[in-house]
Amino acid sequence: MNWNVGIISDEISLDFAHAVKVIKELGASHVEVRNLWNKNITQVSDSEFSEMRNIVEKYGLTISNLDSFTFKIYINDEKGYKEHLQILRKVIELSKKLDINYTRIFTFWYEGELKYYIDKLAERFNSAIDIAESEGVTLVIENEYSCLVGTSKELRTFLDKIKSKWIKVLWDPGNAFFARETPYPDAYELIKDDIMHLHIKDAMVKDGHFIWMPVGKGMIDYKGQFRALKGKPYVISLETHYRNAANDLEASTKESFNGLIKILREVTS
């Protein structure tokens, strides 16, 4: 199978060494780092950062992305905005140490439709783009249903508004589904040329409620989605979110990973 498959480590455990061991055992090639040892990646010490690198190297894996929470604040929070620009600087600094040329960014908490906030959002992104350009690191916007940009339509609208080569897409079909969009084929078509990274989780509506499911057991057409992604260089990074009846993170991630691999094999064969 010629796919770059990764897992976000804290979906297994905050014990980073254990999470990476499980990721290796499952057969993934990449690990994505968000929270470890009860802190976000941007809050680790130099020695902890070195330890993180050593653990990943020990298991022969590659770090695909470092996930800060940049701009998961309200758009008019001036103090928070200044703090988050510093968080962005920090995650870029750490990413460059790993030769990673992009980092994930959000679009502020949802307070209403994008059309009412798009000018302010573009203005807020100016400083972030300046930082990205000076550091040579691309900012990939994750479509997040709790933020101002949750759907591919909103992504397309915002990308067309800011017109910066330093802004690309972290495509999350599960988040698009939660934002009441059909992730594939319609949504994907709008942003496919701007994707740099992917987060994979499955979802469905059950009795009127949106719930996370193991990959392959939800309502998202992942067979079609992965067929469209065949041969692309992106890392497909599992972000399970699904929890089994026992609320066991590791077992839930394993179930989802097995579902993901099953679909990738079907698409590849």
CA-to-CA distance for 7 and 29, rounded, in angstroms? 9
In-domain check, residue 176: yes
Structural domain that includes position 123: 68-199
Q: Which amino acid is at 166?
A: W
Q: What is the pLDDT of residue 269?
A: 87
In-domain check, residue 138: yes
CA dist 247 to 38, 139, 152, 242, Å? Answer: 19, 33, 31, 9
Place of tokens 């993170």: 249
CA-to-CA distance for 199 and 203, rounded, in angstroms? 13
Q: What is the domain count for the chain?
A: 1
CA dist 3 to 99, 175, 199, 228, Å? Answer: 20, 22, 14, 13
Give 215's contacts (C-beta < 8 A, 6+ positions apart). Answer: 200, 201, 202, 222, 238, 240, 256, 257, 259, 260, 263
In-domain check, residue 118: yes
Place of tokens 């009127």: 208
Whether 151 and 176 have beta carbons less than 8 Å apart is answered as yes
- Domain with residue 160: its CATH number is 3.20.20.150
In-domain check, residue 97: yes
Q: What is the pLDDT of residue 110?
A: 98
Among the listed residues 216, 212, 240, 172, the one whose alpha carbon sits nearest the alpha carbon of residue 23: 240
In-domain check, residue 28: no
CA-to-CA distance for 238 and 7, rounded, in angstroms? 5
Q: pLDDT 10s digit of each residue in the chain, 269 long?
A: 689 999 999 999 999 999 999 999 999 999 999 999 999 999 999 999 999 999 999 999 999 999 999 999 999 999 999 999 999 999 999 999 999 999 999 999 999 999 999 999 999 999 999 999 999 999 999 999 999 999 999 999 999 999 999 999 999 999 999 999 999 999 999 999 999 999 999 999 999 999 999 999 999 999 999 999 999 999 999 999 999 999 999 999 999 999 999 999 999 98
In-domain check, residue 119: yes
- Supply angle C-alpha 241, 144, 34, rounded to 5: 55
CA-to-CA distance for 44 and 94, rounded, in angstroms? 10
In-domain check, residue 220: no
Place of tokens 């990646």: 41
In-domain check, residue 19: no
